[in-house]
Amino acid sequence: MKEIVLTGIKPTGTPHIANYFGAIKPALEMAEKFDNNFYFIADYHALNTIKSAEELKKHTYEVAATWLACGLDPKKVVFYRQSDIPEVFELNWILCNLTPKGLMNRAHAYKAMVQKNEEEGVDSDAGVNMGLYNYPILMAADILLFNTNYVPVGQDQKQHVEIAKEIARYFNNKYGEVFTYPKEIIRDEVKTVPGLDGRKMSKSYGNAIELFCEPSVLKKKIFSIVTDSSLPTDPKPTDHMIMELYKLFASAEEVKELENKFKAGIGWGEAKKILFEKSNEYLTPLRDKYNEIYENKEKIDEILKSGAERARSIAKQTLKKVRIAIGADRE
């Protein structure tokens, strides 16, 4: 079998512009370099933060439609929903019985929660559920079940791949060589996409521009970008967030032209109008495709079901080897 590259996508909110340029677009470009790509919607990972059934369903369809609209081809990659692969959760329990508690104690998300609680003077485990604590083990199951060779991650998630590799080592040393040792592919850090208030664009800051919002909403958000009280004839800084956002959508020539206008003097209203027109031009075909896909949820279900069938054909083989190794095979 050709080398497998696996990417997980957590459906915890409506995708925004920073998600697209920071994760979706680079991941799809990377897929062109490999022949065997697995993309999964990590809906059970999302349970750690989403407690509403309707919200989880909504975000799952939004994420699926987003990736399909942005160019993911389900005929060329394996695209599935995590919850459709029961083998993941059986393997998760098996791995739980091999993973030292100390390894989970060192996981970044758990350590950060403990540190926050200690700083606030409350119990160190306040607000910590077992989903958060065992999160890296479930991720290890996602990775190891498919004998994944490479996992593209940002620097902040490198530890998750390292933990998966360590758990694979525990298993292989105990039961024999069953699992492939995964390697991380560290994505080049994409320049931070600024939000409406100048800070990093984030749903938690409330400063995000949704990727597929209607043109009227897009325009309203762009025109709400914070600016100063300089006159239209005053030169404007070319590192302003309006320019940084414009660079995401425009060609090099267009960026140079707007930079010259900033240096010569341009009204903030005109600059925002230029940003809106260019971003809307870029996003309109993606938005149209997204809306068409999102409205056809039966088609999305078919695509994810087909992907799950392909994924399970591998998952079942791996789990059979695991069961034989631990003495739980029934045949």
Binding-site annotation, residues for L-tryptophan: 142
CB burial class (10 A; 0-12, 13-18, 19+) of residue 4?
buried
Question: Which two structure tokens, joined as six digits, stand for 13?
Answer: 């909110």
Which residues are annotated as part of the binding site? 10-12, 142, 154-156, 193, 200-204
Q: What contacts 279, CB < 8 A, 6 or more positions away?
A: 218, 222, 245, 246, 248, 249
**Helix (H, G, I), strand (E, B), or coil: what is residue 181?**
coil
Is-contact 181 3, C-beta < 8 A?
no
Which residues are annotated as part of the binding site for ATP? 10-12, 154-156, 193, 200-204
Is-contact 212 287, C-beta < 8 A?
yes
In order of 11, 52, 191, 193, 245, the CA distances from 199 in angstroms are 23, 29, 13, 9, 12
CB burial class (10 A; 0-12, 13-18, 19+) of residue 203?
middle
